[in-house]
Amino acid sequence: MTDLYIIGADDRKSIVVMLEKMLEKSDPGGEHRFYTDPFEVIKDLDKPVEVAFIDVEMPGMDGIELAKRITARYPLCNIIFLTGYSEYMPSAFEMHASGYLLKPFSQKKIEDALMHRRYRVPDVSDRPVKVQCFGSFEVFINEEAVKFSRQKSKELLAYLIDRKGAMCSMDMLIGNLYPDEPPDDNVKSKVRVYISDLISTFNKSGIDELIIKNGGTFGINTKLLNCDYYRYLDSDPFVISRYTGEYMTQYSFAEDTRAFLEMKYYKDNDIG
């Protein structure tokens, strides 16, 4: 099971202790925080929460209201309600909750709730090519940085990754690699060399079909990439918490994406 950032909130300390022990077994590598005061949960919403186990009945603020406040901040949080009374289920369904556990709950019920949560971040940890877009652009295979024989080849790869798999014409590639030069045969020949160079570089590492060619257009096979930018767009909390506002800092073509990410960051964090 993927390591998760989970919070648990119940005004009964005994329930919190039991939940903590169960989650240690079900998600041993995750980060877990527990609360008996719902207002403390609100104060601590400093990064995206993947799963929240919430007691429906709590003094001061009930679990339904707490869930609404959490999902207003982090819409992809999986809310799992805890209660001893089944009459609260309609309210839970209206919240589009990920789960609903009647007390007393068991270890198996906790594991089932985690396994069948509504929102899941794709697990890309086993993909062969790791791509760092936040900060400076870098590429790794088996944790070793890829050495490009030409810096323009690396820049071409960065552009294709920035395009998220969209196929690009030769004119588009030239316009971003050589914005001040006309798309003549000489420049086209250079770009073809960079494409061949990329294919050769990754073939040597046993990674075929990273570059996609189709009728004079070119793209990237995103299914081979563990990319922080893509994971950010998939609302991966691990990546979101590490985004500092920098994206492919060495490339001017990335300015539009930088602006998009900045707007998304301010929107997601309710910054005016």
Domain identity same for 223 and 134: yes
Domain identity same for 18 and 73: yes
Q: So what's the pLDDT on residue 89?
A: 65
Domain identity same for 154 and 225: yes
Number of domains within the chain: 2
Domain identity same for 41 and 141: no
Domain identity same for 257 and 146: yes
Residues 6+ apart with CB under 8 A from 158: 133, 137, 248, 251, 254
Domain identity same for 137 and 249: yes
Domain identity same for 109 and 136: no
Domain identity same for 141 and 194: yes
The domain boundary residue, chosen from 92, 115, 138? 115
In a domain, 233, yes or no: yes
In a domain, 246, yes or no: yes
* CA gap 239, 242 in Å, rounded: 5
Q: Which two tokens stand for residue 70?
A: 């959490």
Q: Which two tokens stand for residue 177?
A: 């690699």
Q: Which domain holds residue 244?
A: 129-268
Q: Does the predicted TM-score (pTM) go above 0.75? A: no
Are 105 and 76 in contact by the 8 Å Cβ rule? The answer is no
Which single residue is written with the structure tokens 């900045």? Answer: 262
CA angle 46–50–56, rounded 5-degree value: 90
Q: So what's the pLDDT on residue 156?
A: 97
Q: So what's the pLDDT on residue 244?
A: 86
Q: So what's the pLDDT on residue 90?
A: 66
- Residue 82: what are its φ and ψ, rounded to 5°? -120, 130
**What residue ranges of the chain have pLDDT lower than 50?**
none
